[in-house]
Structure 1
Amino acid sequence: MVGVCVAAFVIHLIPLALPRNMPEQELAIARVSKSVESRVKVLLPLKEHPKATAAELREAAELLFDGAPVEAQELALEAQKREPAAVETQLLLARLCDQQRMERCVHAALEKANQVAPGDPRPDVLRAELQEKIGDMSGAAEAMTRAYQKAPDDPLMGLRYARLLSAARRPEEAWSVLTALHGKVPRARLLVEQGLVLGANGRDSEAVRLLKRATEEDPRLSFAYFELGKALYRMGEMDGAREALRQADRLDLGSPKALAALCAMQLQAKLLDDARLTRMDLERRFSDRMELIRQSCSLP
């Protein structure tokens, strides 16, 4: 029996002793590696590997995205050489260029993406996200208009489009887009989105009515209670806001968002004792999210 166990152990060690000549092996090592430097050492040689596919090079670039964007861009450019018509490569290059604040490079990658896949909405969606990130809501809405025109039957696209139109101070157009989504998204979710459009336009009392209807349609929809709490707070109804946010928290125990919003409201309303209790809840349940807690619930 001991001999059999030893033999089995040796057999399992054999693959580790063999030379690695497949990109998938390097990717597997990089996925479990915590160090950016070790990932670069393993993945950058894939640029010269004759067996590496464009998809594998893109995955390697994604693994280096946060810590080594220059090396990630080298891998993405090699992926472009091996598969010039892949829109995914251009989207990756655009994100890498944006991370390095190279606007002309971003523009070139998105233009190329539109050329290789003129009917694909993803380049326009990415442009909308990048514009929204810098606070250009009008530019984001325009980009999303182009994306929506390419995929008008996609309900998630419609919801994102309506949000951006609302943020760009175009509430009538946002409402029209949401109206077209009747029957394509759950009624409670649609009521919440309509409430958000009203609230963004200063019509909080109407927004509250719609958000309350959403909670009646789907009493398990945490998102509806969360937005209801914010709308009630804007109307000065602190007790109602607290109860709505507490219910949102009860329905989504894995997210600190509702309690963080409640604490921020309590601090703004100078309800310091209540804020301390809320912060204690946050620290007890989300000790791994201390930065978020400090930002939203910083007690004097």
Structure 2
Amino acid sequence: MEPLISVTELADALDAPGAQDAITLLDVRWQHGGAPGRPLYAQGHIPGARYVDLDAELAAPPGPAGRHPLPDLADFGAAMRRAGVSGDRDVVVYDDWQTWGAARAWWLLSWAGHSRVRVLDGGLGAWNAAGRPLSTEEPAAGGGDFVPRPGALPLLDADGAAALARRGLLFDARAGERYRGEVEPIDRVGGHIPGAVSAPTMDNYRPDGRFLDPAALADRFAALGAKDGTEVGVYCGSGVSAAHEALALAAAGIPAALYVGSWSEWTADPTRPIATGPTPG
């Protein structure tokens, strides 16, 4: 299944007979340092969507494993069942900020074995721009049967990320100035994993928030070294925007492993090496 769905495709699917039994909608509004997502959801969401809290349900508490570690599988499964996720139902996820929250949900569900998850291209902004309706009615919780079975997507730990940077291609999805070590507004120190290549998520999408088309994404990643047969991985600050990069890579037809702990875990250990400056070459 393609990882992205357009507003037109989603609207047509929701208007089709039996849509309530065929599609689970998840609102994953979240942004770093921004307003909580649930009040925004309550003010208006795509009809039928249930709210999912990224910090509470798509991540474990921050600590040595990073700012957004993998959630406890039992807790994650219970949260997804409360949100109506079932193994035999399509899932569409969206947010209202750069697709980061939605991409995190897409990656986690896909990694945990759900094979029918897509992200609304352009998010709530594209839905609103198309004049589609919103609702303040919250569906009842529950009804899902999803049980996580992790391993459907490749996962990296710190040692695996370091090794991949040496033998393959490890993308750093953060802003270029953080990669280069010029600024670091969040984590202990700036810079990047030695051997990683700068590939900011901001270059994956158009000004209106929709992703570049698959061919353009493929060209972008090829120019950064993702040739046929190259093993690819990606990380960011805390594993959230890296999921966005993994989504863009999937849309381009390029499989990629995700280092969930990312820079926040890497720098929690002062013995790990840190590189600064631009991508070599």
TM range (shorter): under 0.3
- Greater strand content: 2
Which of 1 and 2 has greater Rg?
A: 1
- Greater helix content: 1
Whose relative contact order is higher, 1 or 2, with alpha carbons under 8 Å and at least 6 apart? Answer: 2
* TM superposition score normalised by structure 1: 0.25
